[in-house]
Structure 1
Amino acid sequence: MARSLPPLTWFRAFEAAARHLSFTAAAAEIGLTQSAVSQQVKALETRLGVVLFNRKPRGLALTDDGRRLLPQVGAALERLAIATETFDLGSPDKVLTVAMSVSMAQWVVAPRLADFTNRHPGLRLRILSAIWPDDFHSAMADVDIRFGSEKQVGQGARELTPNRLIALRSPELEAPLSEAALIETVGTSEGWKSWGREAGVDGLEPTLFADSYGMALQLAVHGNGIALASELLARHALETGRLVRAHDAWIAGKEGYYLSVNQPGEAARSFEEWILGELMGR
């Protein structure tokens, strides 16, 4: 059986860090946190069994293995970029294109979308799942809903609230915080330790890690533990009883979801008004 390849995201983090010789600069370029880039590079090093960077107080230095890998990764990413340019990802006429994170699409928009489509019969809607900043760029969407910090998402974007992190569990999971598995999302600035300080609960250590708030919620729904996740994403699951609060405490999220309208028009404005009313008008 052929050995599986490491995730593309690990290679992108490595290539950006190698060009900048900085995890911080790489994070700013590809729209992730410095911690997420560092973790992805470390995961790639572990997978390959080599050290790619020498970590120094004032930056990074490529090792011999890192120098050997960089041109191959750079060439592969360039070929992928050229290949995707042959496809038209623009918005067809009379189709409203909305690009958003997978978590936002699954947990916020999908459960409520019938209300919007019923209000606008005849409108064709295209939803694109996007992860990287250049995914949004290539999509040329009429509306974007991005995840990140205010600096990462750019000017003119409107924060969707509430931007709070809360503890969530399945109604069937009765184990207390001290005994349940704690689910944490990697690549975000706040986690269980910060939440524990606010709640006055010491010694909280996550044991189950997810790559997005949406995946953390999915794990919690199936009784795998208590997730610390976005209240904005969890609202519908709370309303329908799929999840319940495991504790009343909350902390503010340093990253969140931001909406921007790129192509002002009647359909785009209608979607903006609808989603803001659904999330922030209650």
Structure 2
Amino acid sequence: MAKSLPPLTWFRAFEAAARNLSFTAASVEIGMTQSAVSQHVKSLESRLGVALFIRKPRGLSLTDDGRKLVPQVASALETLAAASRLFETGPTENLLTIATSVSVAEWVIAPRLTEFTNRHPNTRLRFVSTIWPDDFHMIYADIEIPFGTHKQFGKNSILLEPNGLVALKSPSLHGALHTLPLIESVGTSAGWSGWPGADAHALQPHIFVDSFDAALNMACHGNGVALVSEVLARSALASGQLVRAHDDALPSAEGYYLRTDETNNAATDFRDWLLETER
């Protein structure tokens, strides 16, 4: 059986860290936590069997193997970006393009979308899935809902609230929080170790995923307690798929921000509808 390729996220973390010679600067650029960038690079080094960086107290330097890999990874990422741009044809009559994560599309928009389409039957919708903040620089969209910090997206955008993190589980999963498997989404600055009043060593995640959507689906299947954005939790709670595992909420430095092309009437209609449903 052919050996599978390392995940694209590992290469993206490596390339950003190599350009910046800093895990911290790379994390700001691609919208991940510093620890997530560091872990992705370590995973890539382990997979390739070589060290790519020399870790120094005040930064990074590339090893010979790292310097060999940089141009190949950078070229491959640009090729993928260019291939994607070939299919970005720009605005089309009556077509509203919405760029957001699968998490928002599935857990915020989809459960209520018929309300919008019933009000605006002549508006066609196109959803473009995004993962990292820099994905938004590569696509054209009338509505953008990125996940990140106020510094990244706060200007001329609206924070979807509430934006804390809550603990959700399947109604069939019983037991106290500290006795259940915990699910954590890599890429956020807050996690189970910061849970209010918790001993950091007592609440250790058992399952790590790279999106809130994956965390929610894991929880729906009874695999553990997911720590996810309150914005995403509403439909799962309303439908009874999930219940609160604890009444507390963990403050989060990141959130979902809504950006709109104010010159597009369909986009402002969608913005107003989305904010109305989130109240």
Regarding TM over 0.5, the answer is: yes
* Alignment-derived partner of residue 26 in structure 1: 26
Q: Secondary structure at the match of 2:145?
A: strand
Residues 1:205 and 2:189 are matched in the alignment:
no
By how many angstroms is 1:246 displaced? 0.8
Counterpart of 1:74 in structure 2 is 74
Instruction: Using the TM superposition, give the Cα deviation of residue 118 of structure 1 relative to its aligned residue in structure 2, in angstroms.
Output: 0.6
Letter in 2 for 1:221: C
Report if the CA contact (8 A) 1:170-1:244 is conserved: yes
Shift of 1:200: 7.4
* Bigger mean CA deviation after superposition, 201-210 or 151-160: 201-210
The answer on whether the counterparts of 1:145 and 1:257 sit within 8 Å (CA) in structure 2 is yes
Give the equivalent residue in structure 1 for 2:193.
Answer: 193
> 2 CA distance for matches of 1:142 and 1:170?
36
Deviates more, 1:68-77 or 1:249-258: 68-77
**Could you tell me whether the CA contact under 8 Å between 2:261 and 2:268 is conserved in 1?**
no
| Secondary structure of residue in 2 paired with 1:97 | strand
1:201 positional shift: 8.6
Q: Counterpart of 1:261 in structure 2: which amino acid?
A: T
Distance 2:6 2:194 in 1: 31
Question: Residues 193 and 199 of structure 2 are in contact (CA less than 8 Å); yes or no, is this contact kept in structure 1?
Answer: no
Structure 1 residues not aligned, in runs of 5+: none
Q: Does 1:231 align with 2:215?
A: no
| Cα RMSD after superposing both structures | 1.7
Q: Flag the 1:176–1:100 CA change in 2: closer, same or farther, 3 A.
A: same
Q: Once the two structures are superposed, what CA deviation does each residue of 1:44-84 show, in whole Å capped at 9, x if it has no partner? A: 11211211111111100111211121122122223323333
1:101–1:145 Cα contact (<8 Å) kept: yes
Give 1:173's aligned amino acid.
Answer: L
Alpha-carbon distance in 2 for matches of 1:86, 1:244: 43
TM-score by length of 1: 0.93
State the TM-score, normalizing by the size of structure 2: 0.94
**Alignment partner, residue 244 of structure 2:** 245
Quote the residue 1:149 is aligned against. 149
* Structure 2 residue aligned with 1:44: 44
Q: Which amino acid aligns with 1:206?
A: P
Give the equivalent residue in structure 2 for 1:56: 56
- Between the aligned partners of 1:215 and 1:123, the Cα distance in structure 2 is 30
Does 1:101 find its partner at 2:101? yes
Change (3 A) 1:76 1:265: closer
Residues 1:171 and 2:178 are matched in the alignment: no
Q: Is the 8 A contact 1:146 1:257 kept in 2?
A: yes
8 A Cα contact 1:98 1:126, kept in partner:
yes
Amino acid at match of 1:30: I
Counterpart residue number, 2:180: 180
The residue type equivalent to 2:104 in the other structure is: M
Aligned residue pairs total 279
**C-alpha distance in 2, partners of 1:189/1:23?**
14
Q: Deviations over 1:78-125 (max 9, x none)?
A: 332333333334221221111111100011101110111011112111
Is the 1:89–1:139 contact (alpha carbons within 8 Å) kept by the matching residues of 2? no
**CA separation in 2, counterparts of 1:79 and 1:202?**
43
Preserved contact between residue 142 and residue 267 of structure 2 (Cα < 8 Å): yes
Counterparts of 2:252 and 2:84 in 1: how far apart (Å)? Answer: 34
How far apart, CA to CA, are the structure 1 residues paired with 2:248 and 2:264?
Answer: 41
Q: Which moved more, 1:208-217 or 1:259-268?
A: 259-268
CA contact (8 A) 1:100 1:145 kept: yes
